[in-house]
Chain A
């Protein structure tokens, strides 16, 4: 009884290769049938995302070389495909799946999307009755491991894109954003993304101002906001909470002289300014004013990079947690191989290495794990 994984991912193959082997959701039922038809496959499951296509199988098929497995499944391989495949057996396969579900194998470490993708892949396989006792247990275990990794470590914490860093900061300044008034100056790509991010987090008073009023109207319509003429944006400033600037003005358009009188009327309401323009739209001295926080592109980028670094460091701790669960799963497999086996006997056999009671998982040699 063996569990194994054959696949290719962003770590082994570029996008041109990955898209050739990707399997669309609509094609999954047929693909699962095809997988089950391969000799030696007793249970099967396919995880196909933009970053990976992986086949999890239980059965004697695990003895196959990865390239051989791909040849069996796909109609034909091209020369040069082989080095992109990998094969993982037994505990390494289990460990790999737990890492995938926890987001540790993702391009953006700690991302959560992959959890849902694997879950959907599992549901599709269950629907097609392609899984059995072993894969059911394995995937259910992987979901609980993924949840635990996210809740008990910091691997998913901290934003890793400029837009989400800015929105997170805004939430740490104002709390909920639904009562915040947001103004976007300049209707370029970056400000559009920012406006969408703020809207997604609950801000519903969005004002867009741009030198081209038509462009401002388009963005305002897309974000459910209101367009205002560029000459009039200063009038809306006194009760503003968040300002996003990305104009192409050659000099600062928001200065201490403009802001200081407005601040006196605002009382203790903080003002958060995000300057994503180059050259900058906001005079750096504005950040020195009480209750005003100005973040430019460099500051946001640096925060995103630090979060990414922190996530990578946290991944080591996650591996220790995952290793514990791999052992638990191994124990379950051992029990299921021989339910009458006592704990003492299992331990004795593990130390003595006698073949009679050693689990199937332990019988597999380490060198079985290979890239084709």
Chain B
């Protein structure tokens, strides 16, 4: 009873870090969008600072949760969404500098804010506070899979930026936004590398999932394999040069949309608890 009370308090208090993180991402998005659309000078350090601040807030939240549950904190939908947002920002911070960091941020931060706000509106189950023995395969499976989703999210965003640039070039009336976004060739390379990174991580995530040794929900497995095959197909077509960059970009957005839908929909089609 006492543990339940303490747990409720910790869970309620630590959500403030998601709020703070979301606030930082919303500010970064608003500032970047304003400077981009109004053609004003953008202070990259300000955007970068806000993204780092949001990332630190999310890390604190995940740290508190991880300490409380004694494992990788992906025990409910709120944590899953936060972990996904955190993974995406992590990859953005690591590789973003190669692709005009502040401008990729224009597209990354609103999405991170959206995921954080979505996470805040999820109901919080209490049962997970009881610490269970850690299964390293399960930990590896969940963390690799979610970080892979972060890479796929960024690939989708790079694809979206590519399509915006492509559209402007085809209309022959590029706006000022065109000249402030990364070159189209850079976006093709970024999209491709992120797809490969995500695919590699997702493959490891799937592989370790088969080693968990618990009951397997084959509907989840089948759906995950469909996603894996779709990304594999995109990469194969790209490698064999049978698919134009425009279609690779479009499909990386559509398949990520499917993946995101899976997070939400899997709860309804699965007989087992959502993540654990």
Verify A157–B185 contact, CB threshold 8 A: no
Verify B245–A174 contact, CB threshold 8 A: no
Verify B184–A270 contact, CB threshold 8 A: yes
- What residues of chain A lie closer than 8 Å to B41, measured between beta carbons? 151-152
* Cα–Cα, bound, A293→B245 (Å): 14
The contact size tier of chain B is 20 to 34
Interface residue from B172, B176, B185, B241 paired with A270 (Cβ < 8 Å): B185
- What residues of chain A lie closer than 8 Å to B172, measured between beta carbons? 295, 299, 302-303
Q: Which residues 158-185 of B sit at the A interface, judged by CB distance below 8 A? A: 165, 169-170, 172-174, 176, 178-179, 182-185
Distance of A206 from chain B, by nearest CB (Å): 19
Distance of A160 from chain B, by nearest CB (Å): 14
- What residues of chain B lie closer than 8 Å to A154, measured between beta carbons? 39, 176
- What residues of chain B lie closer than 8 Å to A158, measured between beta carbons? 176, 179
Interface residue from A264, A266, A293, A310 paired with B169 (Cβ < 8 Å): A293
Cβ of B52 within 8 Å of any chain A Cβ, yes or no, is no
Distance of A178 from chain B, by nearest CB (Å): 13
Verify A168–B179 contact, CB threshold 8 A: yes
Verify B246–A291 contact, CB threshold 8 A: yes
In the complex, how many residues of chain A place their beta carbon closer than 8 angstroms to a beta carbon of chain B? Answer: 29
* Cα–Cα, bound, A264→B244 (Å): 9
Cβ of A345 within 8 Å of any chain B Cβ, yes or no, is no
Distance of A175 from chain B, by nearest CB (Å): 4
- What residues of chain B lie closer than 8 Å to A266, measured between beta carbons? 241
- What residues of chain A lie closer than 8 Å to B245, measured between beta carbons? 268, 270, 290-291
In the complex, residue of chain A having the shortest beta-carbon distance to the beta carbon of B39: A154
- What residues of chain B lie closer than 8 Å to A171, measured between beta carbons? 183
* Cα–Cα, bound, A202→B224 (Å): 46
Verify A264–B183 contact, CB threshold 8 A: no
In the complex, residue of chain B having the shortest beta-carbon distance to the beta carbon of A294: B172
* Cα–Cα, bound, A168→B176 (Å): 12
- What residues of chain B lie closer than 8 Å to A172, measured between beta carbons? 165, 174, 178-179, 183-184
Cβ of A261 within 8 Å of any chain B Cβ, yes or no, is no
Most interface-central of A265, A268, A302 (chain B CB within 10 A): A268
In the complex, residue of chain B having the shortest beta-carbon distance to the beta carbon of A173: B184
Verify A268–B238 contact, CB threshold 8 A: yes
Cβ of B248 within 8 Å of any chain A Cβ, yes or no, is yes
Verify A175–B246 contact, CB threshold 8 A: no
Give the dominant DSSP class at B's interface: helix
Interface residue from A152, A175, A290, A306 paired with B244 (Cβ < 8 Å): A290
Distance of B195 from chain A, by nearest CB (Å): 12
In the complex, residue of chain B having the shortest beta-carbon distance to the beta carbon of A264: B241
* Cα–Cα, bound, A306→B175 (Å): 10
Cβ of A287 within 8 Å of any chain B Cβ, yes or no, is yes
- What residues of chain B lie closer than 8 Å to A265, measured between beta carbons? 241
In the complex, residue of chain A having the shortest beta-carbon distance to the beta carbon of B249: A268
Cβ of B255 within 8 Å of any chain A Cβ, yes or no, is no
Distance of A11 from chain B, by nearest CB (Å): 27
- What residues of chain B lie closer than 8 Å to A174, measured between beta carbons? 183-185
Verify A268–B241 contact, CB threshold 8 A: yes
The 0/1 profile, CB within 8 Å of B marked 1, for residues 134-176 of chain A is 0000000000000000011010011000000000110111110
Interface residue from B40, B173, B248 paired with A152 (Cβ < 8 Å): B40
* Cα–Cα, bound, A265→B186 (Å): 20
- What residues of chain B lie closer than 8 Å to A299, measured between beta carbons? 172
Cβ of A267 within 8 Å of any chain B Cβ, yes or no, is yes
17 further interface pairs, Cβ-Cβ under 8 Å (given A265-B241, A268-B188, A303-B172): A154-B39, A158-B179, A169-B169, A172-B174, A173-B185, A174-B185, A264-B241, A267-B241, A268-B241, A268-B244, A268-B248, A270-B245, A290-B245, A295-B172, A302-B173, A303-B174, A306-B173
Between-chain CB contacts (< 8 Å), 10 pairs:
A152-B40, A154-B39, A175-B185, A267-B241, A268-B188, A270-B188, A291-B246, A299-B172, A302-B172, A310-B176
Chain B interface (Cβ < 8 Å from any Cβ of A): 39-41, 165, 169-170, 172-174, 176, 178-179, 182-186, 188, 192, 238, 241, 244-248
Chain A interface (Cβ < 8 Å from any Cβ of B): 151-152, 154, 157-158, 168-169, 171-175, 264-270, 287, 290-291, 293, 295, 299, 302-303, 306, 310
